[in-house]
Structure 1
Amino acid sequence: MTDTRSRALDAAVTLVGEQGIRALTHARVDERAGLPKGSTSNWFRTRHALVAGVTAWIAERERADFAAASGDAPRDADELIDAFSAMVAAETGPFASRSRARYAMFLEGAADPELLAPLLAQRAAFEEWMRALLAGIGITPDHDLTRATMAGLEGLVLHRLTVDPNAEIRPVVARIVRGARVR
């Protein structure tokens, strides 16, 4: 059984992902998690602590997902396109709420470096992972190329979350990856 802290954090991520950062209150988290009143505030005494906890939890969950999905590294562009397409599909499908929450937390943390730190650490780890994947298929990934590839994938995720949830994935990802090969 999941401990109360994990239940509270999972519920908080869902709340932010579905209703935005303003929905994040201790009482709403308790209710969503099916916890007794006051449970969330036992773990996170202030709203700032709750927001910081959610930010760190999102980064932790995403790192675990990336580690689980990293298995065999793609050997060529088609395998990399498949891997990135699956990642975008997951981020805009089963993990859509968490993706929305991550974007909300980035915006919330824009004025608070302490809140932003776990997400920036996650982003740096993701950038290293991205660089290794590109190098693994024969692309020499400099800093700009890695960031451009990430920006293209993030843009597709954001587009599917906000504008067109049915937007095609693979053709866009293929263009991003194949464009990275042209130097």
Structure 2
Amino acid sequence: MSTTRDRALDAAVDLVGTEGVRALTHARVDAAAGLPPGSTSNHFRTRAALLAGVIDWIAESERAEGGFPAPIETEQGLVDMLVTAMEIESGPRAARTRARYALFLEAVDDEAVTPLRHQRRIFEEWTRSLLEAIGGPAAAERAPMLMAACDGLLLHRITVDPDAPLAASVALAVAAAVHGPAA
């Protein structure tokens, strides 16, 4: 059974992901979570504390989802994993994905988004290690490019076209990361 705090944070993520950071108020979170008025403020006294709680909650949720899949040893395996991940992040987890992007863009305090940046660094290091195993050290250096391409595709799906095809674009980005730019 979810605690009041968990219910409030889940509702807060959905609010930010569907209505933007400005929708994040204690009263709106209480209403969205079906909690009595004042429940959210019992856990997060200020809006800044609520915002920090939401950022931490997103990072905690991502870590709790089980970490990384089984080792990926081929270019096609990496394509398949990235496509699946983006389908999930732009489908069932689209509100959380939108919330993460909104918080990155809206957070005025760089320290506030530290948990999200930490998550990002972990994923980048993992991506580097996969690329190195598949294509060597030069491929590992192209991890930021691959991640930026995937971010662009994901952003397109959650803002413009939720059904935009992914496989061909991801395959192209992975090939560029593994083999380098086309001659």
TM over 0.5: yes
Match of 1:14 in 2: 14
TM-score (normalizing by structure 2): 0.93
Give the stretch that moved more between structures: 129-138 or 95-104. 129-138
For residues 141 and 21 of structure 1, what CA distance do their matches in structure 2 show?
39
Runs of 4+ in 1 over 3 A off after TM superposition: 141-144
Matched to 1:17, the amino acid is G
Match of 2:70 in 1: 72
| Aligned match for 2:95, one of 92, 97, 102 | 97
Q: How far off its partner does 1:137 sit? A: 2.2
Note if contact 1:74-1:133 (Cα within 8 Å) is conserved in structure 2.
yes
Q: What runs of 5+ residues in structure 1 fail to find an aligned partner?
A: none
Q: Deviations 1:17-46 (Å, cap 9, x if unpaired)?
A: 011111111011111111111110011000
For residues 36 and 173 of structure 1, what CA distance do their matches in structure 2 show?
45
TM-score (normalizing by structure 1): 0.93
Does the residue aligned with 1:2 lie in a helix, a strand or coil?
A: coil
| Aligned match for 2:158, one of 134, 156, 161 | 161
Where do 1:86-125 residues align within 5 Å?
86-109=84-107, 111-125=108-122
For residues 105 and 141 of structure 1, what CA distance do their matches in structure 2 show?
32
Matched to 1:154, the amino acid is D
For residues 143 and 42 of structure 1, what CA distance do their matches in structure 2 show?
46
Match of 2:52 in 1: 52
For residues 48 and 65 of structure 1, what CA distance do their matches in structure 2 show?
26
Note if contact 1:139-1:180 (Cα within 8 Å) is conserved in structure 2.
no
For residues 121 and 74 of structure 1, what CA distance do their matches in structure 2 show?
22
- What is the aligned-residue RMSD (CA, Å)? 1.5
Q: How far off its partner does 1:63 sit? A: 2.1
Q: What runs of 5+ residues in structure 2 fail to find an aligned partner?
A: none
Aligned residue pairs: how many? Answer: 180
Q: Deviations 1:84-135 (Å, cap 9, x if unpaired)?
A: 00011011000000000001100122x3122121111111111112112222
For residues 138 and 114 of structure 2, what CA distance do their matches in structure 1 show?
25
Note if contact 2:135-2:179 (Cα within 8 Å) is conserved in structure 1.
no
Fraction of identical pairs, as percent:
52
Note if contact 1:73-1:136 (Cα within 8 Å) is conserved in structure 2.
no
Note if contact 1:12-1:29 (Cα within 8 Å) is conserved in structure 2.
yes
